[in-house]
Amino acid sequence: MRTKKRLIVIVIIAIIAIAGCYFLTQRSEGAYSQFEHIKTKNIFTRNVNNPDNTYYVYFYNNDCQECHQIEDLICDFAKENDVYFINTENKDPDNKISKFDWSAFKTENDIEIGQVDKNNNIQYYEGENAQKYKNSTELNRFNKIKKYEIKIADKNYLKINKKAKKGYVYASLLTPEIDYSSLQIYSSVELANLPTLLEIKSYHVENYYYDVEDIKQYITNLN
């Protein structure tokens, strides 16, 4: 009888453990639990029998508010296309992710366009103004429109742009430039932010889509 009770207890514990693992998996994958999740080392191992077919890898995590904004859009897109998901909260050694160096990027690319006078009014340099950058159609080397925000250099901005001077005005570049052409199996995937969508074909990254607006525009244009 004692052996039977012990066996029942073991079975109950096993059931609780399995249920707990299932719950944690569902929670970690959130709205995307119905779709296949992979690790970064598997990015180029999908569609091996049809390498010319395009597929996508979508990076997200559950604390990303921007990711929640397009959950429905991504779910609908994944139902119609080959999309694989990577939760950046997964700290598995095979899920290698590195952060884009925003400080180095902004130090190199942000543009000084004016300064604040003693009355706290912005005085733009000749030929410069806010609309010039807010309405920019200039493309970077990856054919992405350069998006800017106007920043007055305060103590927080000075930590990011090492060349900035307090009280001066900058067109701060928001569009990252990441060269995914050399990305290989087992490489660490560099991410500027979330969400990020990679378009993959023939074992290399064809293009990437960064932030909500970029991803929404790409998916909308496909339809």
- The mean pLDDT of 41-58, rounded to a whole number, is 86
Predicted TM-score (pTM) above 0.75: yes
> What secondary structure letter does DSSP report for 187?
P
pLDDT of 60 over the 60 cut: yes
**What architecture is domain 34-99+188-222?**
3-Layer(aba) Sandwich (3.40)
88-119 pLDDT per residue, tens: 999 999 999 999 999 999 999 999 999 999 99
Tell me what pLDDT residue 185 has. Answer: 76
Q: What would the DSSP string read from start to end of 139-177?
A: B-TTSPBPPEEEEE--HHHHHH-TT--TTEEEEEE-S--
φ, ψ of residue 41 to 5 degrees: the values are -65, -15
Tell me what pLDDT residue 15 has. Answer: 46
pLDDT of 14 over the 50 cut: no
Cα torsion 141, 172, 163, 194: sign: negative
Cα angle for residues 65, 210, 141 (degrees, 5° grid): 160
Tell me what pLDDT residue 220 has. Answer: 93
Tell me what pLDDT residue 1 has. Answer: 53
- Arithmetic mean of pLDDT over the chain: 88
Cis before 176 (ω within 30): no
Domain ranges of the chain: 34-99+188-222, 102-173
Q: Residue 153, class by beta-carbon neighbours within 10 Å (0-12 exposed, 13-18 middle, 19+ buried)? A: buried
Residues 113 and 170 sit within 8 Å (Cβ to Cβ): yes
Cα–Cα distance for residue pair 193/188, rounded to 1 Å: 15
pLDDT of 74 over the 90 cut: yes
Q: Residue 59, class by beta-carbon neighbours within 10 Å (0-12 exposed, 13-18 middle, 19+ buried)? A: buried
138-160 pLDDT per residue, tens: 999 999 999 999 999 999 999 99
